[in-house]
């Protein structure tokens, strides 16, 4: 008796499953409603400038939130265009998922340098050389101060920032970049109490190679605070000013 009851219940469950499956598979994709948004944010460990809640809130504010709409009403190209206009998003990829959701993968803009110019302008230069506003969350990058306009920031400062970014030793060592009235570059290091004078922009590879040689063969022997200024302006020489 128990065995027959078990078989009967199993057949009922199988019948219910078949009916449900047929209903789902016979539903037209255009009639299926979007249940949720699956958001993937890249670079969140270091640069969490936007989160899922803010992103969904933005789509609602623009009147294009996909949740609750049928799949044929949702234009993924429109979602991408709106998201990519936001100041902290570099690239957005929107797509339909098998689970009746809209997937959104967002690549955030990565700051390279922060600029705090004498003019009062305050912004970041990102890894593409573009200007981006200052977010609510601070980013641990070198700060550039002094006589800086956006053209100088996007060219000369960007090139210096790229060099530092690709050389971990100097990326960790340089805390501040100061631009003088003559558009010459001074560096404030994290280790050592001296100004490192680079002179005019450019030739960074040669200048930093000389600085590394001086660190290893000079400051390591005489002490890191012996000099107040190290000049790398001229080729084949290092000029130091005693404290």
Structure confidence by residue, pLDDT tens digits, 4-19: 555 545 555 555 555 5
> What value does the mean pLDDT of the chain take?
86
pLDDT at residue number 236: 82
List alpha helices for 51-107, DSSP H: 52-61, 76-84
pLDDT at residue number 23: 52
Is pTM beyond 0.85 here?
no
**202-220 mean pLDDT:** 90
Structure confidence by residue, pLDDT tens digits, 53-91: 888 899 999 999 999 999 889 999 999 999 999 999 999
Which of 21-25, 82-86, 96-100, 181-185 has the weakest average pLDDT? 21-25
C-alpha span between 217 and 51 (Å, rounded): 48
Distances in Å between the alpha carbon of 120 and those of 129, 140, 145, 147? 20, 20, 10, 10
């Amino acid at each position: 008796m128990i065995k027959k009851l078990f078989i009967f219940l199993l057949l009922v469950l199988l019948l219910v499953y078949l009916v449900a499956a047929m209903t789902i598979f016979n539903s037209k994709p255009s009639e299926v409603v979007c249940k949720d948004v699956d958001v993937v944010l890249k670079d969140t460990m270091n640069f969490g400038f936007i989160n899922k809640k803010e992103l969904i809130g933005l789509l609602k504010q623009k009147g294009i939130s996909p949740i609750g709409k049928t799949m044929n009403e949702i234009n993924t190209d429109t979602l991408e265009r709106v998201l990519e206009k936001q100041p902290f998003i570099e690239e957005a990829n929107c797509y339909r998922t098998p689970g009746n959701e809209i997937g959104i993968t967002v690549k955030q803009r990565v700051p390279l340098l922060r600029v705090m110019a004498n003019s009062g302008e305050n912004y970041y230069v990102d890894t593409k050389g573009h200007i981006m506003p200052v977010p609510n969350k601070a980013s641990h990058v070198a700060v550039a101060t002094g006589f800086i306009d956006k053209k100088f920031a996007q060219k000369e400062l960007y090139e210096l920032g790229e060099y530092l970014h690709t050389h971990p030793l100097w990326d960790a060592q340089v805390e501040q970049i100061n631009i003088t009235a003559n558009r010459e570059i001074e560096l404030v290091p994290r280790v050592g109490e001296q100004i490192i004078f680079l002179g005019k922009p450019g030739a960074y590879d040669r200048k930093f190679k000389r600085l590394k040689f001086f660190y290893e063969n000079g400051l390591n022997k005489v002490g890191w605070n012996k000099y107040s200024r190290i000049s790398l302006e001229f080729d084949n020489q290092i000029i130091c000013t005693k404290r």
